A and B are shown apart, each in its own frame.
Chain A
Amino acid sequence: MAVKVKIPTPLQRLTNKQSQVEAEGFTVGEVLADLERNFPGFKERLYDEKGELRRFINIFLNEEDVRFLEGLNTTVKDGDEISIIPAVAGGSL
């Protein structure tokens, strides 16, 4: 499945300044792994040492926070849009 991933500006340095990139996978977790393959650095930003998503970074599938779906196991379909939304404190990334 090919989905669009929207990258917040603080992380666009990892995607050669692109605000949106394509990535593939059947689940949100797989899409994020594909993102890491194409643009190394995301894994470190998005996951903690235990391999869990950092809790100050939200992943949305279309309009829904995946925490309230099935997390990284949430399945995606062609044309879906994933948004990475960090807590902005005046800076978090």
Chain B
Amino acid sequence: MLTDRDRERYSRQILMDRLGEEGQERLKSSTVGVFGCGGLGTITSLYFAAAGVGRLVLVDSQKPDLSNLNRQVLHWEKDVTEGVSKAESAKYKLSNFNRDIVVEAHTAMVTEDNIEEFFGETDMVVDCLDNFESRLLLNRFCIETGRPMVYAAVHGFYGQLTSIIPGKTPCLRCIFPESPPPEPFFPIIGVTPGVLGLLEATETIKNIVGLPGTLRGELLIVDLLSYEMGKVKTGFDNQCSVCGKWRK
């Protein structure tokens, strides 16, 4: 149920025909997992907090360093000097930004054995990661537990975005049957995860509220150099080792 304070705080978005009080209630009653509190995660979580997503579960194993600050905008210089973890740093800012939501922080390495502990109570998980192995771990967990996930990835001025809905859309393994070689220090400027993080938050909010036009079975490609945005269709891979058996 919305309180009077909710009705005031979110009044401008409740005015939107597509959202209304019903949409706001859906946001409020949702728990969204944010896996990764870096360039994408600091943007998505900020806008989830702004929009009134009721509960956020932030998970990241790292502490911010100086070279993160060009893009991970919820982590500030004092967090680097004080050695605050990324999940706690983000939680602190988000909780002060919006006292009406619940923000949980977990500073932990996520593995196949413990992923349920972190994301087992979420309605959706947002992939804000920077490596493919963790993405695949999340993809498998979401497929096996029937939980929607939103994927975004960035490199330089380039980004990709899609929704993965178990049983309804191809999964990440269908889209990319093999992992790319790891690249720990890839080139990136803050505006790219900024834009892609906002698109990822938009996509998540649309999924929660039940709005049309989500990227189900489509991969959005964003090139910020040419300002070209395009969509391609993703296909089910019948040999997919992750979602193949769930579809039979």
Contact = CB atoms under 8 A, between A and B. Distances in A.
Interface in B193-244: 219, 221, 223, 225-226, 228, 230-235, 237
A55 B107 CA distance: 33
Given A6-B230, A9-B225, A83-B221, A88 B155 contact: yes
Contact residue range for chain B? 35 or more
A12 B226 CA distance: 11
B232 A10 contact: no
Interface in A76-90: 83, 85-90
B230 A90 contact: no
B102 interface: no
Contacts, number: 99
B155 A65 contact: no
Contacts of A9: 155-158, 223, 225
B159 interface: yes
Nearest to B130: A90
Interface stretch (B81-89, B91-99, B172-180): B172-180
Nearest to A10: B155
B135 A89 contact: yes
Contacts of A65: 232-235
A90 B129 contact: yes
B231 A85 contact: no
Given A90-B129, A91-B183, A91-B186, A56 B221 contact: no
Interface in A6-47: 6, 8-10, 12, 19-20
- How many interface residues does chain A have, given as a range? 20 to 34
B130 to A, nearest CB: 4
A86 to B, nearest CB: 7
A14 B226 CA distance: 16
B185 to A, nearest CB: 8
Contact of A92 (B155, B223, B228, B233): B155
B154 interface: yes
B223 A8 contact: yes
Given A9-B155, A9-B158, A91 B225 contact: no
Contacts of A85: 160, 219, 221, 232
Interface of B: 129-132, 135, 153-160, 175-184, 186-188, 219, 221, 223, 225-226, 228, 230-235, 237
13 contacts: A8-B221, A9-B156, A9-B158, A55-B176, A56-B177, A63-B231, A64-B233, A64-B235, A67-B237, A85-B160, A87-B180, A90-B129, A90-B155
